Chain A
Amino acid sequence: MDKLESIKSSSKMNARIRKNSIWKSIFFLSTLVGLVVLAILIVRVLGQGLAWLDWDFLTGRLSTSAERAGIMGAILGTVWVMIVVIPVTLIVGVGTAIYLELYAKKGKFQSFIATNISNLAGVPSIVYGLLGLTVFSRLMGLGNAVLAGGLTLALLVLPILIVSAQEALRAVPGYLSEASLAMGATKWQTIRRVVLPAAIPSILTGSILALSRAIGETAPLTVLGIPALLIPFPNGLFDTFTALPMQIYYWTLDSSLVAEYANLAAATIIVLLLLLFILNSVAIFIRNKFQQRY
């Protein structure tokens, strides 16, 4: 006991212990750095934009005068784009995931597709913009219509959705499908009536997260040449549109000319972040409420 005490009180041991606790605080503080920046960002945006955020702003049309400008066009544009993105990504994404997880034979081809998907996930979004510009805008002649923007964003978030759908399908235990097959159900019947229903909550969660990525994405839209000031509202898939992030982009750029535009950008950011917050809350709700643990 004496010996232990003497070791403990020896200056070297104390120094080591002190070093440990000093570093512990440094580690803790660096964890806080990100969170402090997040807090500053949110407080700053709220402080700048909240006063400008009212019903007229939400429902108004775009205008060069800051007092009268509204973002209804951008909101509708974002909604229209989502009308394209949601079905395309869900059908293609879930279909691909089912194929890879349940049909494809484990082998070179399957691992080729899997590698390809993870590489696609790492491609910068601006490159997707150029793909959309070349294929959808120019080749298919869609210009800067809703459909061109929606398809471009759909391709962009597809890898995210595929990976999360694959994980969802993998989490469905094998005995469920084995029981179904043993009862005489065919493979597709088993997938449609047993595997998919069990996986749907996780698939929904993943697709909402992919969707929120698409909502906030700006770079590919700038490449497509989405216009700065658009007075008419979009009414269909072939109409020209603008979206919330594009609106933020132009107002931020022009804030060096008209100072109030920075406030309009901040107010639009509040709308965008609120939308993302609601979507993510829904995703978390679905995950907690419906996800079964087997």
Chain B
Amino acid sequence: MANSDSNNNTAVNVSEMIAQNKKKKNLSNFTEKSVPVILFLLASITVLTTIGILYTLITEAIHFFMEVPIWDFFTGTELRPLSQNPEFGLLPLLNGTIISSVIAMLVAGPIGLMSAIYLSEYASDRVRRVLKPLLEVLAGIPTIVYGFFAFTFVTPIIRAIWPQVEATNILSPGLVMGVMIIPMIASLSEDAMTSVPNAMREGSLAMGATKLETTFKVVIPAAFSGIIASFVLGISRAIGETMIVTIASGSSKNFTFDITESMQTMTAYIVEVSGGEAAAGTTIYYSLYAVALTLFVFTLIMNLLARYVSRKFREEY
């Protein structure tokens, strides 16, 4: 009797357990089904961000272009947003952006590439393990700190050597921006060069080439697409950089090629105008978005170009 009793007990337990299990299964089925949906919604936030950026920039820029003809905007050499009869020409800003980026790349390009060559081809493991993280510190410093450095340290030094240079000028932020971009170009180019297989280096060295000849005739041609991509990304970074030029280059809207003078970049214009001067709905306010849209398109093209170059011209080994 005791036996059947216990059997009964287990039977009850089993059926209870089955029922419980079913409940649990339903619950876990529910989580199993809802989790991917929730995660999908989270993932779509990034897409919404892109749509948000495009939508706000384009709709507000359209407002602007209804008041200022698009042709006048892109070819105008006068930018006087606050004057009685305002002019909205983009060229002074475009000019400032291009000149500061060129100065930055003249610094960052050669120095970054040569650092990459040293780290990838010449440095011993131990030296590399010290130098590389130190270079990366340079990349981690906030741009506002570089702006402070350019304005309070680099500019006075430049003015001591070259007195014509104004207190705010495009040269000093350009140079400092270049230093900021060095680690980016160095580490991306180094990645490209270290991925060149050793067999190619050894082949060249075995033929009697020196390390320098191997670097320039074998490694760099093989890593060329990656190096170009790193330069393009560096340019994109320079175009989008804001605080250094805002602080150290002032807000003069002159259309000039004189690097001793103050110039405004597209980014610095956005900071100046959005910093409280423009009420929503005015032409000045809408001009923000037209400038930002131009900036966005520029950097997007650069980034797509970098990806295209590194994919299209990559040598596979």
* A residues with CB within 8 A of B: 16-17, 19-20, 23-24, 26-28, 30-31, 33-35, 37-38, 40-41, 44-45, 48, 91-92, 95-96, 98-100, 103-104, 113, 116-120, 122-131, 133-135, 138, 155, 158-159, 162, 186-189, 212, 215-219, 222-223, 225, 245, 248-249, 252-253, 255-256, 262, 265-266, 269, 272-273, 276, 280
Contacts and interface: CB of A to CB of B under 8 A. Distances in A.
B179 A188 contact: no
Contacts of A33: 111, 115, 179, 182
A222 B275 contact: yes
Interface string B20-34: 000000001001100
B225 interface: no
Contacts of A123: 53, 240, 296, 299-300
Interface string B68-110: 0000000000000000000000000000000000000000001
B43 A113 contact: yes
B295 A249 contact: no
Given A99-B40, A131-B49, A280-B140, A222 B56 contact: no
A252 B147 contact: yes
Nearest 6 interchain pairs by C-beta:
A124-B240, A216-B142, A95-B42, A27-B118, A99-B39, A30-B114
A272 B144 CA distance: 11
A34 to B, nearest CB: 5
Given A131-B52, A249-B247, A122 B303 contact: yes
Contacts of A92: 42, 45
21 contacts: A19-B210, A27-B115, A35-B131, A38-B134, A95-B43, A99-B36, A103-B40, A119-B300, A122-B240, A126-B271, A126-B292, A127-B57, A131-B53, A188-B31, A216-B142, A218-B142, A223-B270, A249-B147, A252-B151, A255-B151, A269-B145
B179 A37 contact: yes
B38 interface: yes
Nearest to A259: B152
B140 to A, nearest CB: 7
B183 interface: yes
Contact of B167 (A122, A249, A256): A256
Nearest to A113: B43
Contacts of A129: 270, 274
B60 interface: yes
Given A34-B179, A37-B179, A131-B52, 4 more contacts: A27-B122, A158-B46, A225-B275, A280-B140
A256 B168 CA distance: 11
Contact of B143 (A119, A162, A218): A218
Q: Give the interface residue-count category, chain B.
A: 35 or more
A37 to B, nearest CB: 5
Given A35-B135, A119-B303, A130-B288, A103 B118 contact: no
Interface of B: 28, 31-32, 35-36, 38-40, 42-43, 45-47, 49-50, 52-53, 56-57, 60, 110-111, 114-115, 117-119, 121-123, 131, 134-135, 137-138, 140-149, 151-153, 167, 179, 182-183, 186, 210-213, 233, 236, 239-243, 246-247, 267, 270-271, 274-276, 280, 288-289, 292, 295-296, 299-300, 302-304, 307
B201 to A, nearest CB: 14
Contacts of A24: 118, 122, 211-212
A100 B134 CA distance: 33
Nearest to A279: B140
Contacts of B274: 129-130, 133, 222-223, 225
B242 A130 contact: no
Q: Which of A113, A126, A189, A272 has the most CB of B within 10 A?
A: A126
Contact of A34 (B52, B57, B135, B143): B135
Given A17-B210, A124-B239, A95 B39 contact: yes
A188 B38 CA distance: 12
B143 A96 contact: no
Nearest to B49: A155
